[in-house]
Structure 1
Amino acid sequence: MSAVCLFILILCLYGTARTAAGKAETDGYEVIRKKVGQQVTIQCRSASNQEMLYLKRGLNEEEDIFCLTLQKSTINQKFTDRLQFHGPFPNVDILLKNLTLDDTGPYWCVYKVSSNYELKTSRGNGSVLLVVTESGPAPSPRPVCTGQSQGDLVLVSVVICAAVLIVVLTVFLIWIIIKTKPLRSTVKKRQVPVNDVYEDMRGTIRR
């Protein structure tokens, strides 16, 4: 019975992992492959009213590449000579020129707007995963995490958790079995002297 319950639990966890992986693929970004020295245009789009546009890089959006507001624009020093932008705010085309291998990574279009004295952040359309390769024959580019790889990591984590759970339950069952064995032997030993006394009393009465 315990084995059946564990099997059902593993199936449920597996289904949850596959759902998360599918969602990561659906919410993923466009993959663009370029060679060193080429250029790429990132088209950031937002249907709602916005006040600020940020172009961020990294899986966790940890690096600010470009910031544009209704009053001014700010460009990261690494891209000062290689970044251009045009188009009416908030729909802006951002051009990155003279690409290098270090430019590889995900780029996010992030919008911010003030509402009820709070700064609300939303991700706009146009985010891309940029993969820059060398112009000539060269080794494969650096591995880049995508939505599929993140889904695989979720699946592996679920399988590991299920394995740990099985081990814990197995150890618990073994511990229970070991604990109950001495208890059973003790009960049997206590019954022996009771039977002897009963037999002796019967023999005394017959005499």
Structure 2
Amino acid sequence: MSVTLRMSAVQLGLVVILPLSWMAQCDQGSNGLVRKNTGESVTIHCRISQQEPEFLNLKRGLDRDVKVLYFHSTKEPTVKESFKYRLKVKGTLTKLDILITNLTVEDTGPYWCTYTAIDVNGTPTEVIGNGSVLLVMEAQQCDVPWWAHGAMRPLFLTCTLASAAVLLIIISVTFTWIVFKIKASYTVVRPRRTNGSDVYEDMRATLQR
């Protein structure tokens, strides 16, 4: 029984992971995960075939609280201020291609193709159409310094070790010189002691003369 449950868990994991992996590798501007770098462009293909909608809202965020684009077949599109001059549309209401250029980090998030239809009673109904994507902006890689390249790394390490050795020698010599100067400053030249008896004999010899 435990083996069966374990196999079921593995199969369920594969069912979930494999489609996500495929979507992460494929970048066609359709349903799934889209990875982009700063400055690049992305195209969102909004589609609906179930019913005839009244208008389309391209929304961003998990709660779909940011309205990026309002598109009506008979009215001028309304674009959010931060997307102006960066957003272009092409096609019809039910088959609309939305191009966003010059992407920034702030553009990261899920984008929803939200269609609104009006029934015979005048009640609006919101439907999520095909083409919703999760846009992920890749972090920019830092430039590799010249000394970190494979060809220059051994030379850089050699120069670093040589510089460290020279610095250590300079410190040792300086320390030795300072110790020598300190010892020399404490050295006192002692005066020569004269024997008292010798002086007395010299004086007596002088008086006898």
Q: TM-score, normalised by structure 2?
A: 0.52
1:128 to partner: Cα distance: 0.3
In terms of fraction of residues, the more helix-rich structure is 1
C-alpha separation between the residues in 2 aligned to 1:61 and 1:87?
23
1:89 to partner: Cα distance: 1.9
C-alpha separation between the residues in 2 aligned to 1:58 and 1:83?
17
Give 1:117's aligned residue: 122
Q: Does 1:65 align with 2:47?
A: no
- 2:53 corresponds, among 43, 47, 50, to 50
Give 2:138's aligned residue: 133
1:76 to partner: Cα distance: 0.4
Q: Look up the SS of the partner of 1:71 in the other structure.
A: coil
C-alpha separation between the residues in 1 aligned to 2:142 and 2:34?
19
- 1:37 corresponds, among 36, 39, 60, to 39
Asked if the contact 2:55–2:115 (Cα under 8 Å) also holds between the matched residues in 1, the reply is: yes
Give 1:172's aligned residue: none
1:134 to partner: Cα distance: 3.5
Listed as ranges, the matches of 1:39-188 within 5 Å are 39-47=41-49, 48-72=51-75, 73-115=77-119, 116-137=121-142
C-alpha separation between the residues in 1 aligned to 2:99 and 2:140?
20
Q: Deviations over 1:77-117 (max 9, x none)?
A: 01011000001222100000000001000000000011021
Calculate the aligned-residue CA RMSD, in Å: 2.5
C-alpha separation between the residues in 2 aligned to 1:75 and 1:104?
17
Provide structure 1 residue ranges, at least 5 long, that are not aligned to the other structure: 1-10, 139-207
Q: TM-score, normalised by structure 1?
A: 0.52
1:51 to partner: Cα distance: 1.1
- Percent identity over paired residues: 38
In structure 1, what residue type is equivalent to 2:112?
A: W
**Structure 1: 4+ residue segments shifted above 6 A:** none
Higher relative contact order (CA 8 A, sep 6+): 1
C-alpha separation between the residues in 2 aligned to 1:84 and 1:132?
20
Question: Which one has a bigger Cα radius of gyration?
Answer: 2
Q: Look up the SS of the partner of 2:33 in the other structure.
A: strand
C-alpha separation between the residues in 1 aligned to 2:107 and 2:93?
25
